[in-house]
Amino acid sequence: MPNPSYDNPVIAGFHPDPSVCRVGEDYYLVCSSFEYFPGVPVFHSRDLVHWRQVGNALDRPSQLPLPPDASASDGIYAPTIRHHDGRFWLITTNVSSGGNFIVTAERPEGPWSDPVWIDLPGIDPDLVWDEDGNCWCAFAGAHGASFFGVQVARVDPEAGKVLEGPFPAWAGTGLQWPEAPHLYRVGEWWYLLIAEGGTERGHTVAIARAPSLSGPWEGAPHNPVLTHRGTNHPIQSTGHADLVTTPDGDWWMVLLATRPRGYSPNFHVLGRETFLTPVRWEDGWPRVGPVNEREQAPSAWHPVEEDPARDDFDAPVLAHRWISPRSRPDGSWSLTERQGWLALHATGPSLDQPGCTFIGRRQLHPESRTAVLLDPDAGRAGLSIRMDEAHHYDLEVADGQVAVIARIGPLRQRVAERPVPRGPVTLSITTRLSRELPPAADEPSGLHVAAPDYIAFHVGDEPEPLAELDGRYLSTEVATGFTGRVIGMYATEGTAWFDWFDHGTP
């Protein structure tokens, strides 16, 4: 009987730069988190297809120092997770403060240690141990360095000391931004897997091999081993990959990719997501791809209980999936002040600037519905769908009015508003890929076919939205950067109470 099939992506929403390791029959995966706190989500799987978040590696301010005004898409870049000598090791880069560092844990759920900083330049660090027990770090060279490519150094990961190097390794095939290095020992060869071409539509995966870590490195004759550039494939930007073997000896690759939609140049709104694809070996080299929306699964098949779509805020702590820009001060939220409600206390006057009180989760589905029950008390609060401080749509309640507010670059506009009774009110934001109705008479020609999706804002049980907006302005192609949409609750004046939050498909 053939193995069951699975759908890509295996981890939907803004989960880029995946790195994976296996311990026995268990797999663990981490992703970049950029300016969001807590940082570096940690996932567990038994079959590489079904993943459940079990923690965040950086869940304390001491582990994740971010300046209050850290730019969007700064923060934590490209972690690598490995298991060695009974411990989990994670190395990553804080581009906003401190550079490269290592944290360790006995269990993937944590607690993870405070950072051990390591004096190496560049980004995207990787860890590997050779047959003599030496630890080596490969990383992408810093911009402006004398060697702009992958470099390798022998390090003491406990002390954060560089023992040898760094030495130039491989600069790739000549495309821009050779990055995302991972080293593997396979038989008599060391293999160096990298990404090239930038993380946009030209993204590729390339590989080289050498008899030792000191080289010489020989690129695969069929490089790139994976790319979707220049194709009309619905999955694009394939790159930043990591390899893993199953207990049966089969090879698989996790990687980031996007699902752009709309009119040229197409727009991707969920960010770069985590995909899975099989790997085969021919003549001493891996062969990969293309990455399909539906693939045949690994031989193991262990579905796990998915994270619930709804949170009633009855637990004593926030679930792992909740994130906030830059920080989440203890005094800005509470689960105990009103039983079964999440309290948010305003720490900043506007979502347009860092420092606001915002707790959200990644948008997971191209077509989605997110709803909350909000009691704004006498404050100003609501539900927001955001890319960053300059690109967000808000459904806000204050002073007896509910309004839809659009912030697009330098422009801020109150799109629609109406009175709302005081007391708890249900707010919802829906996204859909196509419009059921013809374009409005005053809509510019072409607007209704260009958008990747449409975002509608509802109050209570009213069937007609208070407003519906073009989703392209909350896309990476417009906002720029490396993140995706996050939908969340906020308070910018006084205190607001949220009884529940639900994010799923319509």
In whole angstroms, give the CA distance from residue 437 to residue 431.
Answer: 15
Other Cβ atoms within 10 Å of 411 Cβ, number:
9
| Residues in Cβ contact with 463 at an 8 Å cutoff, skipping those fewer than 6 apart | none
Token pair recorded at residue 458:
């509802």
437: its two tokens: 């109705």
> Using CA atoms, how far apart are residues 428 and 460, in angstroms rounded to an integer?
8
The residue annotated as part of the active site, out of 179, 295, 311, 453, is 179
Separation CA 483–CA 35 (nearest Å)? 9
Measure the N-to-C terminal CA separation of the chain; round to a whole number of Å: 34
Q: Which residues pair with 281 in a beta bridge?
A: 286
Strands of the 135-140 sheet, one edge to the other: 123-129, 135-140, 150-156, 161-170
In the set 17, 74, 126, 295, the catalytic residue is 17
Cα–Cα distance, 486 to 385 (Å, whole number): 6
**Rounded distance, CA 196 to CA 240, Å?**
8
265: which DSSP letter?
Answer: T
Measured distance CA(227)–CA(169) in Å, rounded: 22
Give the Cβ contact number of residue 232 at 10 Å: 6
CA 17 – CA 199 distance, rounded (Å): 10
Supply 424's token pair: 């708890």
Q: Note if 375 is an active site residue.
A: no
The 3-state DSSP class for residue 465 equals coil
Closest alpha carbon to 499 in 410, 376, 387 = 376
- Residue 349 β-bridge partners: none
Alpha-carbon distance values, 95 to 78, 134, 362 (Å): 11, 27, 22
Q: Strands, E, within 111-203: which ranges? A: 116-117, 123-129, 135-140, 150-156, 161-170, 179-186, 189-196
366: how many CB neighbours lie within 10 A of its CB? 18
Beta bridge partners of residue 278, listed in sequence order: 252
Q: Is 311 considered catalytic here? A: no
DSSP 482-493: S---EEEEEEEE
Euclidean distance between CA atoms 439 and 428, whole angstroms: 22
Helices (H) and strands (E) in the chain, counts: 2, 39
The residues annotated as belonging to the active site are 17, 179
